[in-house]
């Protein structure tokens, strides 16, 4: 006689599960308001007519809000794919739902998704059948477990790099497709734009010196939606098939795992940019693929009338993350990517959405999803990074309820951009950002934030890339099809006297390179955790497009010919990264406090509105490191700084951004001892000095010999 679970199925785990010991499948779907659910099974040869329809009887196949059933393998027969049809209530309750029994619906927990040859987004818009033209789940198959080798434990890298990077962390934001899709990427033609393509670029990443990749969204999204960036997810459990070299849906996950495994072997962490605040179903006029017709009022935040979507994300819908069902889905997704896919962290897009209560009001005290993620044992050694703002709420710093999370520091971006382009009254703001942004992340007794929680950046995918920041005063977004109205107008950019990249005078290009070096030097000598965009290191350009979300073309694909053309810039980035990693005094868990002294050109810092310069001396003794003296001049004229600590013979010049390569960053053993305690810092430039070691071996953490060593 069959057991209860064999006869009825089990409500957990959600999704479709292959049970090897029973030679059967368990199916489970959560819908609070459904009045009927039918499981649909399809053979590969026919995505229109199911080979099996299994109506679920709520007296047998429902536990609480979860519908479930168990099917033996011989019952499934030659089916390869599955989906659901869901019926809902009539009358008043119908107003808050989109139930449509004619719609074929994707399982929210599907681990692999298949797009039929006749798939198109428009087929799922409005009411009526979308059969044969909508994504369906692939049945899990009995395939061998992925061989992680000595990385079988996701929290132990098997001796290769069995720690999360700390003071040496350098985050590199990357779009998987855009990184290698251009023909000059040097990647095998069949692997361009894929997870496998990233693997082929690992030697380059190691040479550059980055220690963590932050991958723009890799969740499966609608390939017909036109969103190249991937910020409109269809599924939270399946990697995007378009990023896999294989055309087989089930192999995308294996290719992703192989990429993670090889990056870990190289000592590089993998952080995912994740979108748990909305879906590709968009507003009421968007497609009905899954959530909307499974239980609309459960998955999405509606207005007070319960008839219209809230649009706090600006994308047409908002996931109701405080609802227990949605909260569980997000937590299950995070567990999947950590425990099964071995990722090391998450950057949460519009994380402030998580502070919404179940009714949409804002809860800054103890929002349930943030509390559950923060307290989960699985995430104790996982990076949690918040983008702590959305169109309706700005929570950067202490306002964001996840006190132990790191945060993208948009204030760092804006203040550094404004200072470098010589805006008035920005010296005090720059000091605060260099120090670690203690105004946003206070380390007083009540708060006890760490400076490392500030993710410092000047550029990200959202806005100008670094070259465009110094080449364009205005955005040039006409190609996006929105009449140049999309993208921010507040770029805080300066084109150095010439708009764009055509026929640029030599003196303008020289200044642009100098400004890029200034930006990167500030990033590398600031306390906090630095991040920059792929391609910034060789002056990649998007031709002034500051919002290329739909540009799957040469606008966003990195142009690797620029690596050779701008090899001097690559050398500078590589060297400054190595300098930072060699000096843990710069990047600390805590703030610099008494170890830093602030100076002006001659005397104390001038915080006046017309001041554009400052200096600081960072003492490294407490970190078993050497002292350094940094002089920053954003004024449009040369300034002669007086070096106000130490002796003339004790300081060596490491970097001067006004000088041409290779003099702009001196190699180990070729640093220049100062001949005077006065130093003329050229207009719009930065000088970094390093104190000579007291004696050989006196400084435990000194690694200056590795400044241009690709192995660091």
- Quick: pLDDT tens for 322-358: 999 999 999 999 999 999 999 999 999 999 999 999 9
* Four-point Cα dihedral 186, 191, 195, 201, nearest 10: -20
Whether 709 shows a pLDDT value over 60: the answer reads no
Instruction: Give which of 251, 112, 259, 148 is closest to 196, Cα–Cα.
Output: 259
* DSSP 3-state of 156: coil
78 is catalytic: no
Whether 13 shows a pLDDT value over 90: the answer reads yes
Query: What integer is the mean pLDDT of 106-135?
Result: 97
DSSP one-letter code for 691: E
pLDDT at position 306: 85
**Long-range contacts: 402-406, Cβ < 8 Å, 24+?**
402/351, 402/370, 402/373, 402/374, 403/374, 403/447, 403/449, 404/374, 404/453, 405/351, 405/370, 405/374, 405/453, 406/452, 406/453, 406/454, 406/455, 406/529
Query: What integer is the mean pLDDT of 134-159?
Result: 76
- Is the Cβ–Cβ distance between 40 and 98 less than 8 Å? no
Residue pointed to by tokens 């795992």: 257
Query: What integer is the mean pLDDT of 466-471?
Result: 98
Return d(Cα 408, Cα 188) in angstroms, integer: 34
Return d(Cα 330, Cα 336) in angstroms, integer: 10
Query: What integer is the mean pLDDT of 82-95?
Result: 82
Return d(Cα 473, Cα 494) in angstroms, integer: 5
- Is the Cβ–Cβ distance between 394 and 387 less than 8 Å? no
- Is the Cβ–Cβ distance between 470 and 516 less than 8 Å? yes
Instruction: Determine what percent of the chain is predicted with pLDDT higher than 70.
Output: 95
Six-digit token string for 222: 């609608």
* Four-point Cα dihedral 373, 379, 384, 388, nearest 10: 10
Whether 700 shows a pLDDT value over 90: the answer reads no
Output phi, psi for 146, to 5 deg. Answer: -65, 140
Return d(Cα 246, Cα 670) in angstroms, integer: 49
Return d(Cα 12, Cα 61) in angstroms, integer: 12
Q: Which residue among the candidates 214, 269, 349, 656 is catalytic per the annotation?
A: 349
pLDDT in tens, 186-207: 999 999 999 999 999 999 999 9
Q: Is 533 exposed, middle or buried (0-12, 13-18, 19+ CB in 10 A)?
A: buried
Query: What integer is the mean pLDDT of 511-530?
Result: 98
Average pLDDT, the chain: 94
Whether 707 shows a pLDDT value over 90: the answer reads no
pLDDT at position 704: 43
- The better pLDDT of the pair 524, 95 is held by 524
Whether 163 shows a pLDDT value over 90: the answer reads no
Q: Where are the beta strands (DSSP E) in 283-429?
A: 345-348, 383-386, 389-390, 393-394, 406-408
- Domains of the chain (ranges, CATH numbers): 149-408 (3.20.20.80), 593-706 (2.60.40.1180)
pLDDT in tens, 252-298: 999 999 999 999 999 999 999 999 999 999 999 999 999 999 999 99
pLDDT in tens, 41-53: 999 999 999 999 9
Q: Which residue among the candidates 173, 387, 468, 627 is catalytic per the annotation?
A: 387
387 is catalytic: yes
**Helix and strand numbers, DSSP H then E, in the chain:** 16, 27
pLDDT at position 154: 65
pLDDT in tens, 375-399: 987 888 899 999 999 999 999 999 9
Six-digit token string for 699: 């400084």
Residue 706 confidence class, pLDDT cut points 50, 70, 90: low
Give exposure, 545-583, as e/b (b: 16+ Cβ within 10 Å): bbbbbbbbeebbbbbbebbeebebbbbbbbbbbbbbbbb
């Amino acid at each position: 006689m069959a057991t209860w679970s064999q006869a009825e199925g089990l409500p957990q785990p959600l999704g479709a599960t292959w049970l090897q010991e029973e030679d059967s499948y368990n199916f489970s779907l959560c819908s609070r308001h459904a009045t009927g659910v039918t499981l649909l099974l399809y053979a590969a040869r026919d995505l229109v007519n199911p080979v099996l329809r299994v109506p679920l009887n709520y007296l047998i196949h429902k536990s609480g809000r979860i519908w479930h059933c168990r099917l033996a393998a011989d019952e499934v027969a030659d089916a390869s794919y599955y989906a659901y049809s869901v019926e809902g209530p009539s009358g008043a309750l119908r107003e808050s739902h989109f139930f449509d029994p004619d719609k074929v619906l994707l399982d929210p927990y599907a681990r692999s998704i298949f797009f039929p040859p006749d798939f198109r987004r428009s087929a799922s818009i409005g009411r009526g059948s979308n059969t044969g033209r909508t994504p369906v789940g692939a049945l899990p198959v009995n395939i061998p477990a992925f061989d992680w080798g000595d990385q079988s434990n996701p929290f132990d890298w098997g001796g290769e790099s069995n720690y999360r990077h700390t003071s040496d962390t350098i985050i590199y934001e990357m779009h998987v497709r855009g990184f290698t899709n251009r023909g000059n990427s040097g990647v095998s033609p069949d692997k361009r734009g894929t997870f496998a393509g990233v693997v082929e670029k690992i030697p380059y990443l190691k040479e550059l010196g980055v220690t963590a990749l932050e991958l723009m969204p890799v969740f499966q999204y609608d390939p017909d939606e036109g969103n190249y960036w991937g910020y409109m997810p269809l599924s939270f459990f399946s990697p995007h098939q378009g990023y896999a070299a294989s055309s087989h849906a089930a192999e995308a996950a294996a290719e992703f795992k192989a990429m993670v495994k090889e990056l870990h072997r190289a000592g590089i962490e993998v952080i995912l940019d994740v979108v748990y605040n909305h879906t590709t179903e968009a507003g009421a006029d968007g497609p009905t693929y899954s959530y909307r017709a499974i239980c609309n009022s459960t998955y999405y935040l509606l207005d007070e009338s319960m008839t219209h979507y809230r649009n706090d994300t600006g994308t047409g819908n908002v996931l109701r993350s405080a609802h227990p069902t949605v909260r569980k889905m997000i937590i299950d997704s995070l567990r999947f990517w950590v425990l099964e896919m071995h990722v090391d962290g998450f950057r949460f897009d519009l994380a402030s959405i998580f502070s919404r209560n179940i009714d949409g009001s804002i809860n800054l005290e103890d929002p349930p999803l943030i509390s559950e993620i923060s307290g989960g044992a699985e995430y104790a050694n996982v990076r949690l990074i918040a983008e702590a703002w959305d169109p309706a709420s700005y929570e950067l710093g202490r306002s964001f309820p996840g006190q132990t999370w790191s945060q993208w520091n948009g204030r760092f971006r804006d203040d550094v951009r404004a200072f470098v382009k010589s805006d008035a009254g920005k010296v005090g703001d720059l000091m605060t950002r260099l120090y670690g942004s203690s105004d946003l992340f206070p380390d007083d007794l009540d708060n006890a934030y760490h400076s490392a929680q500030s993710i410092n950046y000047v550029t990200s995918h959202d806005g100008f890339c670094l070259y465009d920041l110094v080449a364009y005063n205005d955005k040039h977004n006409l190609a996006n099809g929105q009449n140049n109205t999309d993208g921010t107008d507040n770029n805080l950019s300066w084109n150095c006297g010439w708009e764009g990249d055509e026929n640029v005078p030599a003196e303008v290009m020289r200044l642009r390179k100098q400004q890029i070096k200034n930006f990167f030097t500030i990033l590398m000598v600031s306390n906090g955790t630095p991040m920059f965009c792929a391609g910034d290191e060789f002056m990649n350009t998007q031709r002034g497009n500051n919002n290329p979300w739909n540009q799957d073309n040469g606008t966003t694909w990195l142009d690797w010919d620029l690596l050779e053309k701008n090899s001097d810039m690559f050398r500078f980035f590589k060297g400054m990264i190595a300098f930072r990693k060699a000096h843990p005094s710069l990047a600390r868990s805590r703030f610099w406090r008494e170890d830093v002294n602030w100076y002006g050109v001659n005397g104390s810092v001038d915080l006046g509105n017309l001041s554009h310069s400052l200096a600081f001396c960072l003492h490294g003794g407490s970190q078993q490191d050497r002292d350094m003296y940094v002089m920053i001049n954003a004024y449009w004229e040369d300034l002669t700084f007086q070096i106000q600590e130490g002796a003339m013979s004790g300081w060596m010049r490491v970097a001067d951004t006004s000088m041409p390569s290779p003099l702009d960053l001196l190699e180990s053993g070729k640093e220049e001892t100062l001949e005077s305690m006065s130093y003329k810092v050229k207009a719009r430039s930065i000088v970094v000095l390093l104190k000579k070691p007291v004696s050989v071996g006196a400084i435990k953490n000194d690694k200056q010999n590795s400044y241009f060593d690709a192995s660091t």
